[in-house]
């Protein structure tokens, strides 16, 4: 049974999620918001699997991490179908032991393979559950969690999930509190950019986007010739090079494989070109940065759905991956990037759509769920 929250002791919160930074970042943001909300002491621990990025990111953030087996749902007939029920039962049992050992008052799930057994263990033990869904199209784990959750929050307004309310994307305070105008000069100086030149930032995320990188290479002379400067995050091991293998260099072009602290890039940019992962869309909108999104063309069309609400709000444009080439840059991107009034309108529209304090909202829902659970 759940432990009764008592002002004399800390609230015990177990957060479950992992695999990618898209799950882990909001999980960490919720934990930090709980620790700083002033509503009472709290102890947050996390559950993940050994194969996800949480094994690095969670301990680096200062949180304890418990591990259970990764049990993906089989998608085609195989021996995995035969073994799946037993593996899931074992994962649920392991999750139940963790909840008991951590004396969980409430479980927070953000999706991923790890979340399903933790939800099922929490339901069995009577521990209240709070769900956060980052994407426009919910994953199976959060669809299961939402069935009996005390509260369900979504990062995007059109996400269809039982009992859901739109709360936005929990994000780091360095981003949610960013004043782009105030930080622009310092950010450009730190990134090696001209302080007064209109800046296009291009990123494919931490792993990069080869198709986007190719278009940057093909269009670079056009972009620089239009008076723009380009800050390009290529992704790890995807740097653009000259014929002799040295990094591509042009006056007005700065490339890096990765940047710790995307708030610097957001502050430096007048326009962002990026994939439309939910985290990117929500962060960029929250800070009021106009964007061109190039949705990842594989999967279930999720990235195009992620971008749709802010595009409809006129805070961003989208272009298909196969259409994002030099001709599109010449015809669409350069006229946009060299039109300061249009950029200002788009930035204002993005900011009206964006939500800056979803972490605080989610922390409130977690404490509410714990209180409701204690009264049952």
The answer to the question of whether 172 is labelled as a binding residue is yes
Which residue pairs, CB below 8 angstroms and at least 24 apart, start in 278-281? 278/22, 278/134, 278/135, 278/136, 278/155, 278/156, 278/169, 278/306, 279/21, 279/22, 279/25, 279/26, 279/134, 279/169, 279/171, 280/203, 280/205, 281/156, 281/306, 281/307, 281/310, 281/316
* Two tokens, residue 141: 């784990």
Residue of 141, 134, 182, 130 whose CA lies nearest to 13: 130
Lay out the sheet containing 151-154: strands in order across. Answer: 65-67, 42-48, 11-16, 106-109, 129-133, 151-154, 164-166
The answer to the question of whether 306 is labelled as a binding residue is no
Could you give the CA distance from residue 187 to residue 182 in angstroms, rounded to a whole number? 10
How many CA atoms, within 13 angstroms, populate the side-chain half-sphere of residue 39?
19
Q: With beta carbons less than 8 A apart as the criterion, state whether 231 and 269 touch.
A: yes
The answer to the question of whether 332 is labelled as a binding residue is no
Give CA angle at 44 (364, 7), nearest 5°. Answer: 60
**What DSSP state is assigned to residue 247?**
B
The answer to the question of whether 206 is labelled as a binding residue is yes
Residue 65: its H or E element:
strand 65-67
Q: With beta carbons less than 8 A apart as the criterion, state whether 314 and 344 touch.
A: no
Q: With beta carbons less than 8 A apart as the criterion, state whether 52 and 19 touch.
A: yes
The answer to the question of whether 241 is labelled as a binding residue is no
**92 contact partners, CB below 8 Å, separation of at least 6:** 117, 120, 121, 124
* Two tokens, residue 134: 């980052």
Could you give the CA distance from residue 87 to residue 74 in angstroms, rounded to a whole number? 12
Binding-site residues: 20-22, 135, 172, 206, 303
- The binding site for UDP-N-acetyl-alpha-D-glucosamine comprises 20-22, 135, 172, 206, 303
């Amino acid at each position: 049974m759940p432990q009764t929250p008592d002002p004399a002791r800390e609230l015990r919160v177990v957060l479950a999620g992992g695999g990618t930074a898209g799950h882990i970042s909001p999980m960490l943001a919720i934990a930090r918001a709980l620790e700083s909300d002033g509503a009472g002491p709290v102890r947050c621990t996390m559950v993940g699997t050994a194969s996800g990025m949480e094994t690095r990111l969670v301990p680096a953030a200062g949180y304890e991490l418990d591990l259970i087996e990764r049990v993906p749902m089989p998608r085609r007939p195989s021996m995995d179908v035969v073994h799946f029920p037993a593996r899931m039962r074992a994962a649920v049992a392991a999750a139940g032991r963790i909840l008991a050992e951590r004396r969980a008052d409430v479980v927070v799930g953000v999706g991923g393979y790890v979340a399903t057994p933790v939800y099922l263990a929490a339901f069995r033990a009577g521990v209240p559950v709070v769900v956060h869904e980052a994407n426009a199209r919910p994953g199976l784990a959060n669809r299961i969690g939402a069935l009996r959750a005390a509260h369900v929050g979504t990062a995007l307004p059109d996400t269809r999930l039982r009992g859901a309310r739109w709360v936005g994307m929990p994000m780091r305070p360095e981003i949610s509190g960013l004043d782009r105008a105030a930080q622009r000069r310092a950010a450009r100086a730190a990134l090696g950019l001209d302080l007064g030149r209109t800046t296009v930032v291009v990123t494919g995320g931490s792993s990069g986007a080869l198709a986007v990188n190719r278009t940057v290479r093909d269009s670079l002379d056009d972009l620089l010739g239009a008076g723009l400067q380009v800050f390009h995050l290529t992704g790890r091991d995807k740097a653009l090079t000259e014929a002799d293998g040295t990094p591509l260099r042009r006056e007005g072009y700065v490339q890096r494989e990765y940047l710790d602290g995307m708030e610097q890039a957001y502050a430096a940019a007048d326009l962002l070109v990026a994939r439309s992962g939910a985290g990117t869309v929500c962060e960029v909108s929250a800070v009021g940065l106009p964007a061109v999104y190039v949705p990842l063309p594989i999967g279930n069309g999720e990235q195009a759905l992620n971008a749709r609400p802010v595009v409809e709000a006129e805070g961003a444009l989208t272009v298909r991956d196969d259409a994002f080439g030099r001709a599109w840059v010449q015809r669409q991107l350069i006229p946009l990037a060299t039109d300061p009034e249009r950029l200002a309108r788009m930035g204002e529209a993005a900011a009206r759509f964006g939500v800056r304090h979803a972490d605080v909202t989610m922390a409130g829902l977690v404490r509410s769920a714990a209180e409701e659970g204690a009264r049952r």
